[in-house]
Structure 1
Amino acid sequence: MKNTIQQLTHYDQLSKEEAFQLLVEISEGMYNPSSIAVLLTVFMMRPITVAELEGFRDALLELCKKVDFGGVETIDLCGTGGDGKNTFNISTLASFVVASCGIPVSKHGNSGVSSVSGSSNVLESLGVKFSADNDFLKRTLDEAGICFLHAPLFHPAMKNVAPIRKDLGVKTFFNMLGPMINPAFPRNQLVGVYDLELMRMYSYLYQKGEKNYTILHSFSGHDEISLTTDAKFISNQKEGVLSPSDFGANQVLDEEIFGGNSQKEASEIFVKIISGKGSEAQNHVVAANAGLAVSMVKGVSIKEGFELAKENLLNSKAKMALDKLIKITND
């Protein structure tokens, strides 16, 4: 590790193979927490390269506990986090809306590191139990239309890194990796990133595969469609800019999508919105992200996807999916 850190601090780059091997060695407990913390810090001081990101990703995918749904094609809605915006749990809420539209969702998530409440935090607070058992996950997918993949259960390689990330409390290159290491290998993916440079890197890596994907970044800095401003998107078919008017929605203010100051507040906001009692701004932001996912998979227009998503959010169909997930995971 010492030689690697010296190499990186001199602005040398790791090859894809070197990055792969480094992460394997970290997973095998070959380095102490101080060395890992220094490594994470170095990557906060200089940009990660595409080859390094690809090597880290490939290592985590090889080492993960894989999930097999027997050919069922799912979608994951996931952001990198690390945008510092502290919004409510938009992609998690959108995931339940998408599931209520008849699209199987394999939602990959984790506890918050650089935010008040991650997807795992809010779902656990509502009574969702986590498991890595394949049959258990398949049942939740079949009956609730959604399964939740709590990242630490599937990525044993991360156990030596998780406490260090928590202590640092800031985004690291592991934020960049999160959406790319879903152990169910979903065919469809709506992924948000926190800056345009990372969007470029994601696009380069995703176009090498066979995913049906859309990568998002709002010009306000959000790692999702925020409706506070326009958002750039890159998909496997095209790229462009989406405005609130493209969804038939109004522009919203940052404070209207605030996520609360505590996990308790975050959970209360989540319940209010999924119960159909959110504000227009909250509902529209959820429906915009869910609607884009619906448009991707079902081939309908973005406006049609938005309207269907909004309807299912307001008529409690999304909440029914959540209630089913809670019940099944507690049986």
Structure 2
Amino acid sequence: MKDTLNYLFTGSRLTKAEAHQMLVRIAEGQFSDSEIASFLTVFRMRQITGEELAGFRQALLELCVAIDLSEYNTIDVVGTGGDGKDTFNISTLSTFLLAGAGYKVAKHGNYGSSSVSGSSNMFEYFGYQFNNKQDKLKREVEDAGICFLHAPLFHPAMKSVGSVRKALKVKTLFNMMGPIINPSFPKNQLVGVYDLDVMDLYHQVFRESGQNYIIVNSLDGYDEISLTGDARFVSNLTEDNLSPADFGFAPVPPEELYGGETVEAAAKIFKNVLEGAGTEAQQNVVISNTALGIQCIHPEKSLADCVAEASESLKSKRALGAFRKLMELNV
């Protein structure tokens, strides 16, 4: 570690292989907390490179508790967090609309880091039992169209840095890892990022993965389609800007996306949207993100058709049906 730190302190970068090796050695407990903290601090002082991120990702995926859902054409919808916008659980709601529309979802997530309620907070609140059992997760995908992968159960390697991250109290490179280390290796992924620099990094990583992917950033700082203004996206096929009008919706005031100050408040919004009692702005934002997820799976479909499909899933209550079925399987 001393040699690596001295190398990095000169401004040098790690190759993908070197980054991979370092993370494996950290996971194996070869270094002290002080050494790990010094290593993580390097990537607060400068931007991580695409090659370094790819190496760290490869190591964590090799070390994870892998789940085989390869027989399904699954999708994950996830945001990086860290945008400081305190929105309601838009990405998580979108996964139920996808399931309601007949798609198979393998949602990867964790407790909220920058907001009150992350996806794990929401699933836990409604009674979902976190597990990493292949048979149970497959049954959920088959019967409800969706399963949830609570990150700590699938990434034991992260335990080796848990105390350091807690002590540092700042974002580290591991905050960037969550959206790109789904242990079920989904064939499709919609990822929201909080700025264009992170979008570029993820694009470098994903284009080597063989997945269908769309990475999106609302240009006013949201890590999803917010409808508060224009958004930028890049995929394995193309890149462009999107406006609210492209989805057929009017712009949304930012205050309409607020998720509340407690998990209970966020859960109330979550249930209201699924039951058709959400505000028009809340419903439109969830529909827009779902539509982009559908287009990730089926790039040949027009955005208008994807919006119609997502809207039908919500308004027909099929999305609510997928939610209720998943929770029934966890009684």
TM-score category by the smaller chain?
A: over 0.9
Q: 4+ runs of 1 displaced by more than 6 Å?
A: none
Task: Confirm whether residue 212 of structure 1 aligns to residue 203 of structure 2.
Answer: no
Deviation at 1:95, TM superposition (A): 0.5
RMSD: 1.6
**2:201 aligned residue:** 201
Aligned to 2:244: 244
- Within a 5 Å distance, the mapping from 1:113-132 to structure 2 comes to 113-132=113-132
Q: How many pairs align?
A: 330
- 1:177 is aligned to 177
Query: In the alignment, what sits opposite 1:308?
Result: 309
- Residue type of the alignment partner of 1:325: L
Report what 1:139 is aligned to. 139
**Structure 1, unaligned stretches of length 5 or more?**
none
Q: Once structures 1 and 2 are overlaid, which stretch shifts more, 254-263 or 56-65?
A: 254-263
Which is further off, 114-123 or 54-63?
114-123
Give the TM-score normalised by the residue count of structure 2: 0.95
SS in 2 for 1:108: strand
Residues 259 and 269 in structure 1, CA contact (< 8 A), matched pair in contact too: yes
Deviation at 1:166, TM superposition (A): 4.4
CA contact (8 A) 1:21 1:59 kept: yes
User: Do the aligned partners of 2:70 and 2:186 also contact (CA within 8 Å) in 1?
Assistant: no
Residue 104 of structure 1 and its aligned partner are, at CA, apart by: 0.3
Kept in 2, the 8 Å contact 1:233–1:242? The answer is: yes
Please give the residue correspondences for 1:1-331 in structure 2 after superposition, counting only pairs within 5 Å: 1-298=1-298, 299-330=300-331
Alpha-carbon separation, structure 1, partners of 2:269 and 2:323: 15
For residues 124-180 of structure 1, give each alpha carbon's deviation from its aligned partner in whole angstroms, at most 9, with x where no partner exists: 011011110000100000000001111111111111223443454543222222121
Contact 1:295 1:304 in 2 (8 A): no
**Letter paired with 2:329:** I
Q: State, as a whole percentage, how many aligned pairs show the same letter.
A: 52
Q: CA deviation at 1:50?
A: 1.2
Determine if contact 1:113/1:165 at 8 Å carries over to the other structure. no
> Displacement of 1:56 after TM fit?
0.2
Name the CA shift for 1:21/1:286 in 2 (closer, same or farther; >3 Å): same
8 Å contact from structure 1 (residues 86, 258) kept in 2: yes
Structure 2 stretches lacking a partner, 5+ long: none
- Aligned partner of residue 215 in structure 2, secondary structure: strand
Amino acid at match of 2:154: F
Whole-Å Cα distance in 1 between the matches of residues 73 and 228 of structure 2? 32
**Deviation of 1:198 (Å):** 1.5
1:39/1:143 CA distance change after superposition, 3 Å:
same
Q: For residue 190 of structure 1, what is the amino acid of its counterpart?
A: L
* Structure 1 residue 209 displacement after superposition: 2.8
Deviation string, structure 1 residues 45-74 (Cα, Å, up to 9, x no partner): 211011110110000011111111252110
Structure 2 residue matching 1:36: 3-state secondary structure: helix
Distance 1:315 1:60, change over 3 A: same
Aligned 8 A contact 2:53 2:205 in 1:
no
